[in-house]
Structures are given as structure tokens and as C-alpha cells.
Amino acid sequence: MYDTSEIRKNLKIQIDGVPYTVVDFQFVKPGKGQPFTRCRLRNMMTGSQLERTWKSGEKLERAALEEKQMQFLYLQDGFYTFMDTTNYDQLQISKEQMGDNAYYLMDGTMVDVLLFNELPIGVTPPTFVEMKVTQTDPGFKGDTSGNTTKQATLESGLVVNVPLFVNEGELLKIDTRTGEYVERVKVGR
């Protein structure tokens, strides 16, 4: 349990079984009255925000949160299976929960899984991943203006905008925070 005096930004608490992070807080004390701490909280599962006021000395429940590095094994029947390489424990995350992060998974990709009460509530892929181009039109020969891009489909199904000189079969570095092309990866350096 946390005491109200321990409230800080980014503190993780739980209310009625739901994890929240403290976005902001303020000490509030009306004249001749009792002190409170007013907090702005973000629901870690839905992202929505709310305000809550606690009286000084009230106790807040800690959120039983854990972050684990896990390895992607395979996709089957709409569920992604991950393994904890330290103890071989496995867990599954649904397609819905993965969302767009599924585009960055390939055999053996290591991700950070956020667990609440030992259930996965979020996945953070590595900042950069390398993926092969499976389909793209050839660039226009002789075009040196360089101001146009074309679309390329990658092995995970992700479609990105790439420079005209990128060819099928090439390995590209992608920024998972934006889903954008960063550069070509030189194979066999």
C-alpha cells in the first residue's frame, strides 16, 4: 500500500482491480480544513483519464505490475505465443490485444510484455526491427529527382513508404514507434 505522501508522477496504483498511472497530483488543503491529494490518473488498460481525490493519510493499493522480456514463438488460431527464456513459461496474447504491434513480430523477436496480476495488458516491441521486402514495384529508371516514394510490403504484412531504389528481397530497418522506413540493412558486412 502507498501512503498519500508517497504519491509521485508515474506511480502505478490500482483501484477496483484496474491499474492506473499517476499523471499529475496536487496537495490541496482548504482553510481550517483537512488536507487532500488530488490526482489525475490514466487507466493503463483503456488509456482514459480521470481525477480522484484522497484525504491525507489514506492508503492506495499498489498495482501488481511486472515487465518481462519474452520471445515470440508462433501465431496459431488468432493467438500469439510468447516464452520467458529464463524459465520457459509461456503465455498467449490475442490478436486484438497485440493490435499493430503484430507487424513487428518475426520468429524469435524479443518484446517487453507488461503484466498486471500476471495477465498481459501491453506489449512493447523492440525500437527497431529488420524485415525483408516481399513485394514492391521497381523504381522508375532514370528518375533522379528523389522526391517520390513508393509502397513496399514487408514479410510481416506491414506496408511502408520507401525510396524508389528499394528492391524486393532487401532487408529494411523499421522504427516500430512510427512504423516508418529508416534505412536499408547491408547483409553480409
Partner 1 sequence: MGAINPGLVDRAIVERLAHRHRILQLTRACFDQAGFIEVETPSVVPSPGLDFHLDAFEVVDSRAARFLTTSPEYQMKRLLASGMGAIYQLCHCFRRDEDGHNHQPEFTMLEWYRTRAGSAELMVDTEQLVAMLATRLHGRSAITRQGRTIDLAPPWPRITVADAFVRYAQTTLESVLPDEERFFRLLVDRVEPQLGRDQPVFLTHYPASMASLAKIHTDDPRYADRFEAYVDGIELCNGFGELTDPVEQRARFSADQASRRAGGKVVYPIDERFLSALDHGLPDSGGNALGFDRMVMLLLGAERIEDVMAFGASRL
Interface residue list for partner 1 (CB under 8 A): 26-36, 38, 53, 55-56
What are the residues whose beta carbons fall under 8 Å from the beta carbon of 144, sequence distance 6 or more? Answer: none
In whole angstroms, the minimum distance from the beta carbon of 28 to partner 1 comes to 5
Q: How far is the CB of 151 from partner 1 (least distance, A)?
A: 42
If the CB atoms of residues 27 and 165 are measured against partner 1, the closer one turns out to be 27
Query: Which of residues 11 and 114 has its CB atom nearest to partner 1 in the complex?
Result: 11
The CB-of-19 to partner 1 minimum distance in angstroms stands at 23
Q: Which helix (H) or strand (E) holds 96?
A: helix 95-98
Nearer to partner 1, 37 or 176 (CB): 37
Distance CA 71, CA 145 (A): 42
Q: In what order do the strands lie in the sheet with 12-15?
A: 2-3, 59-62, 12-15, 18-28, 36-43, 49-55
CB of 40 to partner 1, least distance (A): 13
- H helix count then E strand count, the chain: 1, 16
CA geometry: angle 138, 144, 148, nearest 5 deg: 60
Question: Amino acid identity of 1?
Answer: M
**Closer Cβ to partner 1, 32 or 189, answer by number:** 32
